[in-house]
Amino acid sequence: DAKTTQPPSMDCAEGRAANLPCNHSTISGNEYVYWYRQIHSQGPQYIIHGLKNNETNEMASLIITEDRKSSTLILPHATLRDTAVYYCIVRVASSNTGKLIFGQGTTLQVKP
């Protein structure tokens, strides 16, 4: 699975958009970009995934660059409850082990 690089921490004002970047320059053609988050020692929570196209769901948007070497998770209107560690994971969708490799992630602090 490709390695990812994320900034260790970011701040965001409540109500503003939070843009979390992720670099994955060694991503392969069949690897997806997944985002999970972990709110203070709770179980990780799936947010969104994408392969090539930009994706949007009720939680967030995922913007993937055309060369697929980087992506940005966007929380359009961050709330205090979005304070969490956000993990960008790159892997194939098909796997026997199902293992997710969580790096250090980005700690997002949403401030009032």
Nearer to another protein by Cβ, of 12 and 83: the residue is: 83
Minimal distance, residue 49 CB to another protein, in Å: 5
**At residue 63, what is the residue type?**
I
Our finding on whether 7 is near another protein (CB under 8 A) is: no
> Residue 14 half-sphere exposure, CB side, CA atoms within 13 Å?
6
Q: Which of 5, 25, 26, 45 binds another protein (CB under 8 A)?
A: 45
Q: In what order do the strands lie in the sheet with 45-50?
A: 9-13, 106-111, 84-92, 31-38, 45-50
Could you list the residues that contact another protein (CB under 8 A)? 32, 34, 41-46, 49, 93-104
